[in-house]
Amino acid sequence: MSKNQLDQKSQAWSALFSEPMSDLVKRYTSSVFFDKRLWQSDIQGSLAHAEMLAAQKIISSQDFADIQRGMAQITDEISKGQFDWKLDLEDVHLNIEARLTQIVGDAGKRLHTGRSRNDQVATDVRLWLVSEIDLISALLNDLQRSLVEVAEDHVEVILPGFTHLQVAQPVSFAHHLLAYVEMFARDAERMADVRRRTNRLPLGSAALAGTTYPLDRERVAKSLGMVDEHGQACVSQNSLDGVSDRDFAIEFTAAASLCMVHISRLSEELILWMSQNFGFVKIADRFTTGSSIMPQKKNPDVPELARGKTGRVVGHLMGLITLMKGQPLAYNKDNQEDKEPLFDTVDTLKDTLRIFSEMIGGQINVLSGKKEGGMTVNAEAMQAAAKKGYATATDLADYLVKKGLPFRDAHEVVAHAVKTAQSENLDLSELPLANLQKFNPAIEKDVFECLSLVGSLKARNTLGGTAPDQVRLQIASHHARLGF
């Protein structure tokens, strides 16, 4: 093969290389077919870098103008699907740079002054992830809002609260939903925290040791919006760390995993609640599928898939964290493997949040401006279930404590009462007063108030408790926090 043929077939830096890559190795090492999705961040980062190079007189203002013009054309080509992505050019960075040089000539070749793909890719991924975190945060707010809206309509709806999946005590359905709002609010906090550490500029670290050009890194950070809450530029402080750190991707995936775990727990409940044995809720048909053999079936495919996809996201966390563990400083090609798990985590989480928000809260009808098609609640079924299983037994014990019995003794008295009620197939509230008094003479007529589901609920009127008054306070504070 002639030198010329070799140059065409191999890579952009090929003068040193005496043989071309095999097709298999090319396919194995290239990333363009997945990292092309970073193209907007790549161009944004390059323009900020070029602007700074010109301001620092490292390149001419004419070069910068040419680079801007070339990038505008490339943006247009990619947006229209007319850009010719080449496997031979390995990744998104080399593809865009090569096309730039084709369009604007030498200015394109000057763009990479004082820069390496190592700090370039680290910058691109961060920029991309920050904008995705912003979308995810908005989706987390939507989901919380959907849950709060359904909660608002069901403050006084009572269902059995479970521990060990055994009926424990009655709770308000709104209270139950608000537990998930708390989880998703923490997920949003975690995302905001990850965003702060992601929004830092590695560019200027060059390959690993910094660069000999008088770069103004803070200027680049500011023009990319990599600033803290006081508007101060956020710039990585160690070039070796700058090019090799992928903590931000790992912690994002960890935060995403936790969020998916919360979705998965909610899914598990929806699946149980939708089963014939519970019959507590229904989700709209568009989130379910039928069976190819059993005509009566409506399966909760969406919650089941969300539960399944949680495993996939947690798997990505394991993949990313394992990717880092053996890497010496600084950049290693291993890091190219960060992208697919990260991309898939973002896609899975965004789709899941979007779908859950609609499945629970419904969709806005453009004509009426109201949401419709959300989850429907069968209050009677919940109430009937709460009546089974002696959910107010603790209330009877508390009643006796208020009459002066030590709690342990009261617990024992109630255990006897429950045993008797069970043998007669009655609820505690259905036992005649005279029978109840046999267990303890302190029991009076007012006991029936505390044995009722409503009385039991109302009595738990401490901060964070399930009493309707408390639940309404929580709803109001979520309204204020979420701004609706």
Tell me how far, at minimum, the Cβ of 122 lies from ligand ARG, in Å. 8
Residue closer to ligand ARG (CB basis): 91 or 427: 91
Largest CA distance in the chain: 106
Tell me how far, at minimum, the Cβ of 31 lies from ligand ARG, in Å. 4
Residue type, 469: D
Q: With contacts defined by CB under 6 A, name the span among 143-151, 158-166, 327-335, 430-438 that binds ligand ARG.
A: 327-335
Tell me how far, at minimum, the Cβ of 121 lies from ligand ARG, in Å. 4
- Helix H segments across 275-406? 301-325, 339-361, 379-387, 393-402
Residues 252-311 that bind ligand ARG (CB under 6 A): none
Residue among 95, 198, 236, 336 that touches ligand ARG (CB under 6 A): 336
Residue closer to ligand ARG (CB basis): 116 or 172: 116
Two tokens, residue 299: 């399966």
Tell me how far, at minimum, the Cβ of 128 lies from ligand ARG, in Å. 12
Q: With contacts defined by CB under 6 A, name the span among 78-86, 128-136, 282-290, 328-336 that binds ligand ARG.
A: 328-336
Q: With contacts defined by CB under 6 A, name the span among 62-70, 267-275, 331-339, 449-457 that binds ligand ARG.
A: 331-339
Element (H, E) at 163: strand 158-163
Residue closer to ligand ARG (CB basis): 207 or 271: 207
Residues 6+ apart with CB under 8 A from 278: 272, 381, 385
Tell me how far, at minimum, the Cβ of 90 lies from ligand ARG, in Å. 7
CA gap 172, 132 in Å, rounded: 35
Tell me how far, at minimum, the Cβ of 331 lies from ligand ARG, in Å. 6
Among 397, 421, 54, 53, smallest CA distance to 203 is for 53
* Residue of 131, 291, 416, 477 marked active site: 291
Among 250, 201, 243, 202, smallest CA distance to 226 is for 201
CA gap 380, 161 in Å, rounded: 15
Q: With contacts defined by CB under 6 A, name the span among 44-52, 278-286, 329-337, 470-478 that binds ligand ARG.
A: 329-337
**The residue count for the chain:** 484
Q: Per CB under 6 A, does 46 bind ligand ARG?
A: no
CA gap 144, 138 in Å, rounded: 10
Residues 215-234 that bind ligand ARG (CB under 6 A): none
DSSP state of 462: S
Residue type, 376: T
Residue closer to ligand ARG (CB basis): 97 or 149: 97
Residues 107-146 that bind ligand ARG (CB under 6 A): 117-118, 121
Q: Per CB under 6 A, does 451 bind ligand ARG?
A: no
Decide if 239 contacts 207 (C-beta within 8 A): no
Among 244, 457, 422, smallest CA distance to 332 is for 244
Q: Per CB under 6 A, does 49 bind ligand ARG?
A: no
CA gap 320, 307 in Å, rounded: 21
Total residues interacting with ligand ARG, rule: CB under 6 A: 10
Among 202, 73, 79, 81, smallest CA distance to 130 is for 202
Residues 14-43 that bind ligand ARG (CB under 6 A): 31, 35
Residue 291 known to be catalytic: yes
Residue closer to ligand ARG (CB basis): 295 or 326: 326
Residue closer to ligand ARG (CB basis): 35 or 398: 35
Cβ neighbourhood burial of 69 (10 Å; 0-12, 13-18, 19+): middle
Tell me how far, at minimum, the Cβ of 92 lies from ligand ARG, in Å. 8
Tell me how far, at minimum, the Cβ of 333 lies from ligand ARG, in Å. 6
Residue type, 400: L
Tell me how far, at minimum, the Cβ of 354 lies from ligand ARG, in Å. 28
Tell me how many degrees the CA angle 333-334-336 measures, rounded to the nearest 5.
Answer: 70
Cα four-point dihedral sign 24, 30, 35, 37: negative
For residue 326, CA distances in Å to 249, 320, 397 come to 17, 12, 58
CA gap 110, 354 in Å, rounded: 43
Residue among 335, 357, 429, 474 that touches ligand ARG (CB under 6 A): 335
Residue type, 458: K
Contact characters 82-111, ligand ARG, x per CB under 6 A:
---------x--------------------
* Residue of 164, 230, 368, 423 marked active site: 164
Tell me how many degrees the CA angle 18-23-24 measures, rounded to the nearest 5.
Answer: 110
Which positions are annotated as active-site residues? 164, 291
Using CB under 6 A as the criterion, which residues of the chain lie in contact with ligand ARG when the complex forms? 31, 35, 91, 117-118, 121, 331, 333, 335-336
